[in-house]
Each structure stands twice: as C-alpha cells, then as structure tokens.
Structure 1
Amino acid sequence: MNQQISIIGVPMDLGQTRRGVDMGPSAIRYAGIVERLQNLKYDIKDLGNIEISHLTDDQTDVNEDEQNLRNLQEVKEVNEKLASSISKEISEERFPLILGGDHSIGIGTIAGVAKHYNNLGVIWFDAHGDLNTAETSPTGNIHGMSLAVGLGLGHEKLTNIGEYTPKIKPENIVIIGARSLDDGEKDLIREQGIKVYSMHEIDRLGMSKVMEQAIAYISKNTDGVHLSLDLDALNPHDAPGVGTPVLGGVSYRESHLAMEMLAEANIITSAEFVEVNPILDERNKTATVAVALMGSLFGEKLT
C-alpha cells in the first residue's frame, strides 16, 4: 500500500434528499481517522473539504431540463472539482482517500482515478448497485447512478466529467453486499455481465470465499483497483447512520475480514467511504465503524 495518503472530504448531500450526510467527513475525522492512519506509520496530508454550494429546500426539486436528475448541475460541479483534486494527488504519487458525503461523489472519484490507469478495477461494497439512469431511477437521486455513470451511461453532463467516457469496463467491476436492486439495475447487470456477490452469495459461500473469488477476478485484467465502500452495505445494527439502510446486510466482522483480505492482497490504489449521516446515527457509531474498517484496509492487525 502506498504510504503517502491524501484525505479529501466531500460534504455532499445533493445526490439524495435526506439531510445530514454532508456532515459525514467531519464525523469521520472526529472518529480519529488521521490519528489511526498515522499510528500505522502512514504519511497523511488532509486536504480538507471540497467546497459545496448548499441549496435551500425549495431549490432541490428536479428541473425540467435535468431529465429526472435531482440537482444535476450542482452535482456535476462538485464532482468536477473532486476529480481534479484526486488526479493531482495521484500525479504526486499519493493514495487518495475520500470521505463522503453521499455516493454521488463516486462519479468524481472514478473520473479522477481512472484517467491514471488503462484498466481500472472497481470494488463496489454496497447494499445497492448504483446502476440507475434517469430512465430507470424511481427517485431521480444521483447517488443511485454513480456506477452507471462510470460505465458511460447517463446524462452527458455526468458521463463527460474529466472529458472522457467511459471510465471503467463492466468486466472490471465487482459489487459486494448487494440486496436492494431496482429492475433496471438487474437488467443492466445481466446485459453487461457485471460480477455481483449479493448477500445470498455471502451467506452461502462465506465472506472469506467471496473475497478470495472477488480479489482473483478483479486482479486478473486490471492495473489498479478503486474501493468504493458505502456504509449501508453493513447491517443497520452495525451502521445505523446511513440514509438508505437495508436489513440483512454484511456484519461488522465480515466487513473487517473483507478489508483485511484486501490489505493482504495489496491491490487497492484508491478508496472512498461514503454515506455516513451523523443525524441518523447513534453516538457517531457509523463513523467509528468507518474508521475501524479503514484501519483494517490499511493493514491494522489485532496482533
């Protein structure tokens, strides 16, 4: 793992409608991420937060020209800033660690990272597929579209961030922990042949076997791997502070095992942890879980 880490906070709440997720980066910092990684002997540069233009409640409706995409222009602008910031850090040979914020920031992270690799792999650790488009989304919330945008599917204002599209190939994606997929997402997964380990596979095979297979699959044809971890992948009992909780998720211990195995494989070249919402949380429990998982991802061991 790259010993030079740049932390970038993205206090974005415009990709969905529940307030509070904009405080996620602050909650994660408060839970001690900088100190945790410094104790593991990493060189940490905290770049602070990407500036977000917050809208009033009456400005968050879908505009006619946005084609069922809530806050399209604002989400585009934030992700352009994020992509540029990430690309700069990678150019300086630093590992970008992104703190969210809602999962619409995945658009900018993939845009900023993928330009530095010929075949970027993406591990999407999430209860949801985030593979909707304006045509298939039941809500118009862009945080449910970010992986589709990376594939070049969606509004051109989003797909053209970074001035290239697509950013990733369907065969270079692994989704882990899925248990809430819309019909359009299921169709896309089948059409594109995207590898998905749902909770069914995790229950049946066990997390150890799932991660062995996922690591072997994602390592085969890629020259870098981005980890995008949505805290709603975990069971709400373990991570209650998320905007779209889904029962029956990955356990706390299974999540740690997944991160530990990724650390052992030494394949992750960038990462983001998203959807921490302190307003919905219990004594900053979810942010604390996020920091603990980051510790495991970056090599922290019990002994």
Structure 2
Amino acid sequence: MTRVNHCRLLGAPVGSGAGVRGCELGPAALRQAGLADALRARGWQVTDLGDARPEPGPLSHPANPALRYFSETTAWIRGIGRAAQTAGRDGALPVFLGGDHALSAATVPAMARRARAGGRPLFVLWLDAHPDFHTLDSSTSGNLHGTPVAYFTGAAGFTGFPPLRDAVAPRRVCMMGLRSIDADEAARLAGSGIAALRMGALRRAGVTAPLERFLDRVAAEDGDLHVSLDADFLDPRLAPAVGTAVPGGATLEEAGRIAALLGESGRVTSLDLVELNPRLAAARRTAALLIALAADILPPCPEALRHTGS
C-alpha cells in the first residue's frame, strides 16, 4: 500500500452519547497534552482541522424510551461524518479526537466510504472494554456510545441515524480487550462473525498471535484499517480518566505490544482516540498515555527514519 506522511486531526467533541458528561472536553485535552508534536516527532506532517460541529436532522422519536439525548447525539454523528470525509481526502491519515464512542458511528462509515472509493475493503480493530454492539432497541442504559458497532456493521433498526451507505462486514471487525458485555450483546456477537476477544483470553494466550492473524487478513485483502482506541481498553489504574472504567484492562506491556505491531504493519489508515474524560482523575496522565500509544500505532514516516539515521 502507498505510504502517506500527512496526518489530519479532527476534534469530535461529543459527550451526549455517554452516561457521564465530560468527554466533549477530550479533543482540547489531547491537543494541550501535545498530540500534534508527538506525531510530528514521528515524521508526520500534521494539520489540525479544528472541531466538527453537530448537524441537526429530521426529528425522530425512537421506540425505546430509555434512549438519552437521541437528537443531540445523532446531530453530532451527522456533523462528524461530514467532517470526517474531508479529513480523509487526498490520502491523508485522519486521527479523530473524541469525544465519546458514539463518534465511531460517524468516523467508521466515512472511512468505509473512502475505502470503497479506492477499491478496498475497510477493516476495524476495536480496542475497548465494551463491544458497543447494542441496537437502539436493545440498549437498557440508553447511552448511544454503546451502539456504534451494531450500526456500522449494518444492524437493523437505526431509524434516525444517518442512512448507512457503506457497512463494514462483521468478519472484518476484530475486538480486543473486552471485559463488559451485556447478555443481548453476547448473544448477537456469537453469531455475528466478529472476532470478539476477551481480555482474559488474550492474557492467557498473549496479544501477538491474534493481532498478527487479523493483520494478515487485512494485508491479504489489501484493506484499509481503522483503529478505534477507547481509553477504557487500558486498565483503570493506568488510565483512570474514563467514565466507564472496567478493572482488568490492558497493561502497559500489552497495549505497547499492540501499538508496536500496528505501527510495524504499516496498515493503519485512520484512528479514533475516544472516551478521555478530563473532568475525572488523572486526566493528564490518561491523555499522555493515549498520545504515546497513538504515536506508536501510526508508523514512523521516512523523514523521521532519515533524521534518526535508521
């Protein structure tokens, strides 16, 4: 695949999809913590496009009364989706700064559309404690950050969301680090074709082999690869500034190994950094860790290698 050296940052300051407000402050926190400088140090040309804005649409009244902030969140999904298409133009590598994980209902379809236009499939690596595989009908929390994977893989019943032009085939989705799966999600995942890998199983077998198998499939199909990194993928002792912390998350060694394999593969074409909540404890430490992982996930550009003498 063709290597690029231009990275575009796009803020996606949506917080209405989460149960705890504060993720809307995440893009500013990642910028202030030095994300752009960290990527430039890896040889990337970085352009910051600023923040996406919500785009209101027709009023919709979903049947599930538990759903919270539906119109507000779907307006964000429309606006982020439109801006994401701009961020991915001309072969640039977009990094989407969250915001809660509802933003992936915008970023992933936009990247799937870009991949299709280039004659390639899109693969998605979902690094998260949660599968976010609820439909609008199955959600009991009512938090829409729990629905993006069901939406972008083409599940029925998403009236009120933007029409999905380019669904991602479930067999091209790999989830790693799962620790909190609701019963309805578990039942639907079992027959979905998604590779849903729990953290406990990864800890016993190691993260290297399953990720290498997935990356081999991406390479075999010459696919684009979107990585969606949720801060709660990490153990909350390392990254506490998340509203949905689940014990037993990835260690520094495990997360670092995953990031290094992704960087070495050269397959990553877009990246989400989500669920950083600066209102919670140790926000700077959490932001710094996300930035360090992001810098390793994106392969160093030739310019950086020349400067280091590699």
- TM-score for both structures, normalised by structure 2: 0.88
Distance 2:193 2:13 in 1: 33
Q: Shift of the alpha carbon at 1:281?
A: 2.6
Task: Name the amino acid aligned to 1:82.
Answer: I
Q: Shift of the alpha carbon at 1:146?
A: 0.6
Per the alignment, residue 158 of structure 2 pairs with 155
Q: Shift of the alpha carbon at 1:65?
A: 5.6
Per the alignment, residue 226 of structure 2 pairs with 226
Distance 2:71 2:283 in 1: 34
Change (3 A) 1:267 1:63: same
Q: Which runs of 5+ in 2 are unaligned?
A: none
Q: Shift of the alpha carbon at 1:220?
A: 3.8
Per the alignment, residue 82 of structure 2 pairs with 84
Distance 1:206 1:234 in 2: 15
Change (3 A) 1:167 1:103: same
Change (3 A) 1:113 1:283: closer
Q: Does the 8 Å CA contact 2:54/2:79 hold for their aligned counterparts?
A: no
Superposed, which structure 2 residues align to 1:20-31 within 5 Å? 20-31=22-33
Q: Does the 8 Å CA contact 2:105/2:152 hold for their aligned counterparts?
A: yes
- TM-score for both structures, normalised by structure 1: 0.90
Distance 2:205 2:289 in 1: 24
Aligned length: 292
Deviations 1:238-285 (A, max 9, x none): 110001000001112211110110111111111101000111131511
Change (3 A) 1:19 1:176: same
Superposed, which structure 2 residues align to 1:53-202 within 5 Å? 67-118=65-116, 119-153=121-155, 154-158=157-161, 161=162, 163-165=163-165, 167-202=167-202
Q: Does the 8 Å CA contact 1:103/1:275 hold for their aligned counterparts?
A: yes
Change (3 A) 1:195 1:218: farther
Q: Shift of the alpha carbon at 1:67?
A: 4.7
Distance 1:257 1:64 in 2: 42
Q: Does the 8 Å CA contact 1:199/1:250 hold for their aligned counterparts?
A: yes
Task: Name the amino acid aligned to 1:174.
Answer: C
Q: Shift of the alpha carbon at 1:10?
A: 1.0
Distance 1:86 1:64 in 2: 26
Per the alignment, residue 249 of structure 1 pairs with 249
RMSD: 2.2
Deviations 1:83-126 (A, max 9, x none): 11111232322111001010000000012111122321110000
The percent of aligned pairs where both chains have the same amino acid is 28
Secondary structure of the structure 1 residue equivalent to 2:279: helix
Per the alignment, residue 285 of structure 2 pairs with 285
Per the alignment, residue 18 of structure 2 pairs with 16
Per the alignment, residue 37 of structure 1 pairs with 39
Distance 1:223 1:150 in 2: 17
Q: Which runs of 5+ in 1 are unaligned?
A: 54-61
